Amino acid sequence: MEYRKLGDSNLEISVITFGAWAAGGWMWGGTERGEAINAIKAAYDAGVTSIDTAPIYGQGLSEEIVGEAIKDIQRDKVQILTKFGMRWDLAKGNLAMHSKDNSGNVIDIYKYAGKESIIKECEDSLKRLGTDYIDLYQIHWPDTTTPISESMEAVARLIEQGKVRHAGVCNYNPEQMDEAAQYLNPVSNQVPYSMVKRDIEKEIVPYCIEKSKSILAYSPLERGLLTGKMKPGYKFGADDHRAGIYFFKDENLQKVNAFLEKILPIAEEKNASLSQLVLKWTFEQPGITIALAGARNSQQALSNAAAADIRLSKEEIDKITAHLNQLSLSR
């Protein structure tokens, strides 16, 4: 496993970081708690020391699962990354979406990052995680109803109190990052990035490289699209959020799978899966510090971790990118 520092901090995290959204079940068709816990433990044993979660993932369930999975691990040997700013239990801020919890109950989710809300969320997260500090505390989405100054000053207070070690942001543009930097030192920006979603290369990547900010790439496998396992006609469950996303239209599944066939020989030469090759390509891109990868079970967790051990030359990376540049998906 390879480890990289976040921004100009002394916090090192594994290039494959365990993404625990699916572990919470919400929007992923449910979860199996025991398998999720075993997946996190297996990942840790394989060198994945960093875990990214959030309160909204299963309305607290993901954080509880993470807490249970790491309870017997020496605290300074694991890095906990969690978030704040999405409330399902408080109707304030911007309505983000109507949804259902894991029990099928209707819930409304708001983007809200007011000071008192952040303080409460932090305390709740610490309890669920079974720890007294969070390594990286990230605002989940911009909240246009609360000044960035208020949100960042609340996090700065938590850092002063020792409850948070480092601050990060998610889904921020360069202007928002600049404003946040007036009140504390956000070391990272967690944003969506995959072979088929590369728009951050225009502004966010150059900005983060210039300002020495890390990029945490989420959904690098584009929610299963880039595994090569999804074929035209694939049927999603009723509560699976992927069902309505254009990536998964039959036409696009055909195009993506044709692209994956072109790079398959490189994967086979490395004795690697397509998923592993895609993950490796992702965190070798300029400005990308780590890739977040979720796993439903131990086997998937170990497969993700092994991506860090693949060796790709610059020529091989360029060859993959050249094939990729010819791919055009339909909206």
Indicate which residues carry an active-site annotation.
57
What are the φ/ψ torsions at residue 191 (nearest 5 degrees)?
A: -140, 160
Tokens coding 325: 């540049």
Q: How would DSSP label each residue in 125-157? A: HHHHHT-S-EEEEEE-S--TTS-HHHHHHHHHH
Report the distance separating Cα 248 and Cα 311, nearest Å: 30
Residue 171: which region, alpha, beta or left (left: phi > 0; alpha: psi -120 to 50)?
left
State the Cα–Cα distance between residues 328 and 316, nearest whole angstrom. Answer: 21
What are phi and psi for residue 31, nearest 5 degrees? -150, 160
3-state secondary structure of 84: strand
